[in-house]
Amino acid sequence: MNGEICLHDSKLRLGDVVMLDSVPSARRRAGKVRRLEPTVLQETASALVIAKPAGMPSVPDRSGEDAGVHGLLQTLRPDDDLRIVHRLDRNTSGCLVLAKGADAARHFDLEFRERRVRKTYVALVAGVPTWDEQKVDSWLGPDRRRPGMVVASSEERAGFREAHTEVIVRERYGRHSLLGLRPTTGRSHQIRVHLQSIGLPIVGDQGYGGERLLLSRLKAAYKKRTGVEERPLLERMFLHAEQVVFSDVDGNEVVADAPMPEDLAVALRHVEKHRSQRRTQCD
């Protein structure tokens, strides 16, 4: 053993010991890699529609450490007074509408409140429904046992608001389904809670009963490695805001589509590849 050396001014020889800082790799495993930046999907004189990456909040988080999309508004369009007119959960990717100026913000706020904006999401869920379409109607309110979380009620309750979501089955797999979702209201965590309430939790959404997407649950011949913890095929929940349709300030219809992000596309390919196999063991 020849002791420690500096890699930038010495050559490695047999027997040298290289000391590497493990913090960066640990951070990568924890998902703290450099995140993607928003991309512009559509732009008009009064609106900007961006594709929000997963992991980025729409507005500053509670700690104040992550300003999210809000902190990038001036960078996106320095000459425009961009304003966020609706929100996506931190780990939901896809279409986010920004208004240009106060007048446009008031217009889009009214469009959302009057439920004239058409939003379509896609989600991979655990479970295979026998029906093709279903409307989920319930009242959503705060979960008193879990601050920041939401629960559904079949009846009106104090502090709860009505919520409606149309659910369409796009594809059925061995133990999963790909769903199209059209919320006609915009309540916090609405889609996540509605799908949990009908027994179809979103894959990766562990806050609302979703399981991790593991290859061992998809592949019948999967062999676990002794002493090695299996890593999930997806590091977040499978929920993506794929399309938004709205009337602009000038009355013209605007349609914006956000392509499925690579992490979701890769996970879905695994599910499709092993669709004929079924694993039932618990995590």
| Residue 25 counted as domain residue | no
9, 21, 80, 89: the catalytic one is 89
Q: Domains in the chain: how many in total?
A: 1
> Contact, 12 vs 1, CB < 8 A?
no
State the Cα–Cα distance between residues 237 and 213, nearest whole angstrom: 9
Each residue of 39-48: pLDDT tens digit?
999 999 999 9
| Residue 108 counted as domain residue | yes
| Residue 21 counted as domain residue | no
Please calculate the CA angle 77-38-203 and round it to the nearest 5 degrees: 155
Domain range holding 191?
Answer: 35-223+232-273
**In this structure, are strands 93-100 and 239-247 parallel, antiparallel, or unpaired?**
parallel
| Residue 98 counted as domain residue | yes
State the Cα–Cα distance between residues 195 and 90, nearest whole angstrom: 18
Position 159: which residue type?
Answer: G
Q: Is 89 a catalytic residue?
A: yes
| Residue 210 counted as domain residue | yes
Residue 275: the pLDDT is: 81
**What is the pTM for the complete model shown?**
0.84
State the Cα–Cα distance between residues 36 and 39, nearest whole angstrom: 9
Each residue of 5-26: pLDDT tens digit?
444 444 444 444 434 344 343 3
| Residue 177 counted as domain residue | yes
| Residue 190 counted as domain residue | yes
Each residue of 104-158: pLDDT tens digit?
999 999 999 999 999 999 999 999 999 999 999 999 999 999 999 999 999 999 9
The domain that holds 188 is classified in CATH as: 3.30.2350.10
| Residue 209 counted as domain residue | yes
State the Cα–Cα distance between residues 46 and 85, nearest whole angstrom: 12
